[in-house]
Amino acid sequence: MPTIKVTDLILVLLFFYPSFGQAMRNSSPDFESWLQTEESIATEKMLANISPAGATKGAVIASPSLQDPPYFFHWVRDAALTMNTVIDLYEDAIAADQAALKDRLLDYLWFSRGNQTAPSLTGLGEPKFNVDGTAYKGEWCRPQNDGPATRAKTLIRFAQILLAQNEMNFVKHELYDGQTPSQSVIKTDLDYVAHHWREPSCDIWEESIGDHLYNRLVQWRALMDGATLARLLQDPTAATLYENQAQQIESEFSKFWDSNRKTYVASINLIGGVNYKASNLDSQVILGFLHSEALPFSDDRIQTSLQILASTFTSLYPVNANGLPAPGIGRYPEDLYDGGKNTAGNPWFLITAAFANTSYKAAAELYKSGKIDLANAMATKGDDYLRRVKMHTAADGSLSEQFDRNQGFEKSARDLTWSYAELIQAIKTRQKLKQ
């Protein structure tokens, strides 16, 4: 009988398990229980990045990372999207837990108001603040006009919650006042969006200056929700302005549709920024639809755009050849940003989670319209994306910004707040779908 040497055994194991980390992953608890555990880890870690030690209350740091990359700052975009997830937590929480979440939303409200009035280089389009609330004054891509739109959208949601709790006076005084527009946080942002949306802006990746579909989508959403709030609070002139501008923005969406390739493109009318984004294919268009709900998620145009991105990243990142049906998704194919030397971009957790969320939302629509087979397929696709997230999640459940395109280990900023916020959203959509 041939003897099997230990070294042979190890070689065989190595063959089946390309990395030790992966072997560990294969022995991890099943998907459902992972989702449960990961949701609570993500929640805890996301909340830890709101008003952390050393920051003014209400500051939402992008990550605790101080260098490579330095992310211990309050980005208007990351903060608004994160606090939008905090509102989801608030809505799902039992009464006893709601008070603490409401305090966090109030802190964010005051901090945001401080951002609006702090001296800065670009005013309301200022993208990034120090954690004491003063504006960051170093070289940066400015303005970033998605910021006031998503901040308004989140705060409008908060205002609606407060109104349902009969807090009319507070809302009028602190959030939206038609009489003293420049003193109220939501109206300040909405007026800015209504009057400045046509101006060139940096994109959400802080690299390209021009017109971006993501920005148009969230600007549209902010003005639509803003018009509803304005009417409710007896500010009809503003409501009409917001509605009119929203309509004009909406008519711009089609400019980003590439009918030959059957995909939305990210940007048009570029006037500056990096010059290597030849394909104009970019996951930010999917994020834009997710954050604005401007079209049904089962709409062919969203689905074909998502498909093209998915197949692009499947072949681009070697790690995607590995074992799972759904690929890890990056920002755009030409991306170089890796949080350090910037030699090659990687898949991102938050984007992969957003692709899951988009698939679940499409599934929900398809179930409603009785297209059960398609719906099931979409729901499975959502799970495939979350299994991809699971595969690359660190053993303690923490999520960085990116995972390595070759090996799959976590990369760039650790504990990225936005990664948690986007994953929690996807898991919550999945829970609603299963109900």
In the complex, which residues of this chain contact ligand NOJ (CB under 6 A)?
62, 71, 75, 77-78, 204-207, 337, 418
Between 235 and 422, CB nearer to ligand NOJ: 422
The whole-angstrom distance between residue 144's C-alpha and the CA centroid of its chain comes to 15
H or E element at residue 263: strand 263-264
Q: How far is the CB of 78 from ligand NOJ (least distance, A)?
A: 5
**59 beta partners:** none
Q: How far is the CB of 169 from ligand NOJ (least distance, A)?
A: 35
Q: How far is the CB of 128 from ligand NOJ (least distance, A)?
A: 8
Under DSSP, the state recorded for 330 is -
**323 beta partners:** none
CB-CB contact of 137 with 116 (8 Å): no
Q: How far is the CB of 183 from ligand NOJ (least distance, A)?
A: 28
Find the catalytic residue in 107, 126, 206, 338: 206
H or E element at residue 272: strand 267-273
Between 71 and 297, CB nearer to ligand NOJ: 71
Q: How far is the CB of 62 from ligand NOJ (least distance, A)?
A: 4
Between 320 and 417, CB nearer to ligand NOJ: 417
H or E element at residue 75: strand 74-75
Between 176 and 337, CB nearer to ligand NOJ: 337
Residue nearest to ligand NOJ (CB): 337
Amino acid at 373: D
User: Distance of CA 338 to CAs 9, 67, 280, 331, Å?
Assistant: 36, 13, 19, 11
**Residue 78 catalytic?**
no
Between 66 and 96, CB nearer to ligand NOJ: 66
Q: How far is the CB of 284 from ligand NOJ (least distance, A)?
A: 9
Q: Are strands 128-129 and 74-75 parallel, antiparallel or unpaired?
A: antiparallel
Find the catalytic residue in 107, 146, 203, 282: 203
**Residue 252 catalytic?**
no
Q: How far apart are CA 363 and CA 98, in angstroms?
A: 30
As a whole number of angstroms, the longest Cα–Cα distance in the chain is 92
DSSP string, 82-135: HHHHHHHHHHHS-HHHHHHHHHHHHHHHHHHHHHHHS--SSGGG--EE-TTSPB
Between 6 and 66, CB nearer to ligand NOJ: 66
Q: How far is the CB of 216 from ligand NOJ (least distance, A)?
A: 17
Q: What is the 3-state secondary structure (H, E, C) of 356-374?
A: HHHHHHHHHHHHHCCCHHH
The angle formed by the CA atoms of residues 188, 190 and 192, to the nearest 5 degrees, is 70
Between 71 and 197, CB nearer to ligand NOJ: 71
**Catalytically active residues, by annotation:** 203, 206
